[in-house]
Amino acid sequence: MKSKQTGITLIGFVIVLMVVGFFGFMAMKLVPSYMEYMGVSKALAQEAGGGLEGKSLNEVRNDLLRKLDFQYVSTDTVGPKDITVSRENNTTSLKVSYDKRVPFMYNIDFLLHFEKSVALQGNVGE
């Protein structure tokens, strides 16, 4: 009586291992950028919750850059040009919008676009 073996063959296992390795490598390249974005979100929330009464727009921008530094977000990633403060209908909002290029392999890169906006509490001066 012959017993029938079941399971994955060695070639099938190598193929599955290659697919899992590819996606693992992709995650290893992309996760730090998303963790950095979480730091940007946290710094924006801290800035929105802080007292802004009487601060100028430049002071708000510099304050946010300092908080981004505490979150380990480099000025190469988010610079002063990426931070905008806008007013609409008596509401002031602080917006950070930036692109990040992550090299993947050979001539393949990922281009990630991050954008976050929060409403500021208080009266911000010019």
CB-CB contact of 102 with 112 (8 Å): yes
Q: How confident is the model at residue 50 (pLDDT cuts 50, 70, 90)?
A: confident
- Report d(CA 8, CA 11) in Å as an integer: 8
Q: How many CA atoms lie within 13 A of 81 on its CB side?
A: 4
Average pLDDT, the chain: 86
Q: Is the pLDDT at 71 greater than 60, yes or no? A: yes
Query: In the block, which residue shows the tokens 């500021």?
Result: 120
pLDDT for 27 equals 94
pLDDT for 126 equals 56
Angle between helices 57-70 and 10-49 (to 10 degrees): 140
Average pLDDT over residues 30-45: 92
- In the chain, what are the domain boundaries? 10-120
Q: Please report which residue ranges of 50-105 form alpha helices under DSSP H.
A: 57-70
Average pLDDT over residues 98-124: 87
pLDDT for 51 equals 67
Q: Is the pLDDT at 43 greater than 60, yes or no? A: yes
- Report d(CA 95, CA 103) in Å as an integer: 26
pLDDT for 122 equals 66
